[in-house]
Structures are given as C-alpha cells and as structure tokens.
Amino acid sequence: MKNHLKRLSAFLLALVLIAGVTVPVTAAQAPVPEPSQQTGEEPQEEVSSEEEPAESEEPAESEEPAEPEEPAEPEEPVTELGYVTASALNVRSGPGTSYSRSGLLYRGETVTVLETLDGWYNVTNGTLTGYVSADYVVVFTVTAAAEDSALLPVGSYEAVGDTNYITVRAFMAAVDPSAAVSEANGTVTVVAANAGMSLNLTACAGVSYIEANGRYLYVPAGNRYINGLVAVPMSVLASVFNMSVYYTAEGASLVRQEGAAPYLISGNVYYNGDDLYWLSHIIYAESGNQPMNGKIAVGNVIMNRVNDRSGSWPNTIKGVIFQKNQFSPAASGSIYREPNAQSVIAAKLVMEGAQVLPTAKFFNTTNLRNTWAARNRPYICTIGGHAFYA
C-alpha cells in the first residue's frame, strides 16, 4: 500500500511539471524582441520615423517661392575693329600666302574683325571680305555699336566759298551734348568719351589744321571765327566722329559711317613710325624754314613719287628719299637732323592725305633757274623759296 502511494505521488508530480511547461504564455507577457532579433535590419517604420517628414523638408532652390532676382544688366555688345597700317594690304581667300588674292586694303581703312586664325584676321569692310596678315592690322575694341541710321540735324553753319563752317560748340551740341567744351583766346578744346573710347580735340583760329587724338586733319583755308567762336569746316569735324554730312532743303544732318568706331583711332596707331620719321626729316631738311603749305608741298612731292606707278621711283618714302641723285639732304647727311614740331605736323598732315600740289614731283630753290626740272618739266607754281614742277 505504501509503495502504491509513492508511485501515485510521483505520477501526480510529473503531471504537474508537464502542465507547467505547456502552459501558454499570453501576448501581454511576451517580451518584445530587439529589431535586430526580428530581421537583422531596421524595420521600415523606424526608418521613416528617423527621417524628416516630407512636409517639413525645405523645398529645393528651384521650387522656393523666393523674391524675384533683379535681372542682370545686359552686357554691352563688343565689336573688334582693325586699322590697316600697310600702304597696301593683300586680302586673301584663306589664312595664308598660298591662298589667292581677292583685293586690297589701304592704310587708314577700318575693318571689322570676324575671326583670328594663326596670325591672320578674317576681316570685312562691308564690300570686301577675306583674310589679311595680322602684322599689318592694329585691332581695338569698342563696347557698343553706333547707330548707323540715325540722322543728327546740326545747327546753323556758314558757307565760305564752297566750304561750310560750323562752330565747334554748335557741332558738339548736335553730336554729343555731354562732351566738355572749353574755349578761350582763339582756341577750343573738346574732351569726350563713348563706347570705351575717348576723344581729345583742339582747334585754333587761323591755323590750317585741327588735332584730334594725335591726328592732324588739314583745313586748307584755315579755321575761322563765327560770332566770336572758333569754327571749322563741318566735313573735317564730321571725319573726327567717322560721320558723313548730308544736305537737304531743311539743312545739314550727320550720319555715322556703318560699322565705324565713335572717333578716329589715335595717331600713335594710325601713323607708321618709319614713314613718319623719314617724311618729317626730309620736310625739315628741305623746307624747315618754309610756311606750312610749303612744307606740305614738299611732302606731296615725296608721296606723289611713292604712289606713281610708272616705275621711275621706289614705292616707299625712304626709298624715294635715298634714290641716287634726287635729294641733297640724303647725300649730305642733313636728313638726320631732328625736325621741328611744324615739320612733324606737316608730315602727319601729308600722311592724312593733305594736298597742296597733287601733281608735283620735282622742286628746287627759286634761285636755281637752270635745273633739269626747270628745263624739262612743266612749271606749277612757287611757294615760299621753292619752285615746283609736275
């Protein structure tokens, strides 16, 4: 009996133990595992909860309702212009001397530079387009194009013979009222600026030229007075601004040449240094004590020979001066004396095209009556101490 009770107790104990192992654990009592214990990765909910909610994100710059920015000021158009420095410059169909020639440009012409390529410029002057050597073109930049079509009416002017004179003040009032104009004791000066370029102009009453940016422009009859103010031929002043004069029944108007810079290019660019040196030296050596028109006439003889196509003379200023038995200063050495200021100005005037004697190719002092030229060439006139011949 005792053994039976012991076996019953052991059975009940085992039953209790088995029941304790199999008692289910409710969800409320279950431990919450760490995320890594579930998937090895953060659950999607936690990822989204760590990011800023979409509505709180700052919008992208392109979507910001920002205040409108002030529009940037448009850049001024830039034009590259070129000034021809060679007496005659070949224009070719391509960038090299192996390309065919299509025309010529001459010293002082202004061209628009279209392209730069290996020491050559592709240029146009409006009627001729092609390639020229960069060695013979000085390039400068203007920051705005001039209005080609705008006619500018000018004020009153005065006709003297076949030349129309206008006071510098009246001309500037039409062309550029903002320019600084000052006048005293028969001299008027102008200081102006436009499109990245500047102008300094001087004109004196009674003088046969004006000076603009170091350039000397000829006034054959001289500057004069109108109502006490210095007046200059309108065509001469217009050339300073690369303008042309048009006359109608209503009066005179100015129009800027197409594609031109606002002012003449400066003299230190325009004048060829070697040509200016030799021309001013021969003018001084031959006519340093002569009046201005006498100096210009001597310069005309030199240039008339340079431009002659008969083959009788060299085609350079230096070549003409040093041609054998032609000019005594070249043989004596007086050609090397430093010229005076008026001789330099006369040389510049001639290089600008000033002509007193357009056909003269010989001259001698008036006290020499039996020279070869006097015997064999047509006499033109006498200016100062020189007789001139064609």
Q: What is the CATH number of the domain that holds 275?
A: 1.10.10.2520
Flag whether 20 is in a domain: no
Token pair for residue 35? 């995320």
Q: Whole-prediction pTM value?
A: 0.70
Q: What strands lie across the sheet with 120-124, from one edge to the other? A: 101-106, 88-92, 129-133, 120-124, 110-117, 79-84, 137-142
Provide the pLDDT for residue 39.
37
What total of structural domains would you count in the chain?
3
Same domain membership, residue 227 and residue 201: yes
Determine the Cα–Cα distance for residues 141 and 261; give it in Å rounded to an integer: 9
Flag whether 49 is in a domain: no
Flag whether 45 is in a domain: no
Q: Could you count the other beta carbons within 10 Å of the beta carbon of residue 334? A: 16
Residue whose tokens read 């990765």: 41
Same domain membership, residue 131 and residue 180: no
Flag whether 42 is in a domain: no
List phi, psi (to 5°) of 87: -65, -35
131 has pLDDT over 70: yes
Provide the pLDDT for residue 324.
95
Q: What is the arithmetic mean of pLDDT over 58-64?
A: 49
Confidence band of 109 (pLDDT split at 50, 70, 90): confident
Same domain membership, residue 281 and residue 236: no
Provide the pLDDT for residue 18.
41
7 has pLDDT over 90: no
Same domain membership, residue 325 and residue 303: yes
Provide the pLDDT for residue 68.
59
Same domain membership, residue 252 and residue 303: no
Domain that holds residue 314: 271-389
Q: Where is the domain boundary, 200, 234, 267?
A: 267
Flag whether 62 is in a domain: no
Q: What is the arithmetic mean of pLDDT over 7-26?
A: 43
Confidence band of 272 (pLDDT split at 50, 70, 90): very high
Same domain membership, residue 202 and residue 132: no
Task: Look up the CATH number of the domain holding residue 137.
Answer: 2.30.30.40
Q: Where is the domain boundary, 234, 267, 300?
A: 267
Flag whether 282 is in a domain: yes
Q: Where is the domain boundary, 235, 267, 299?
A: 267
Flag whether 204 is in a domain: yes
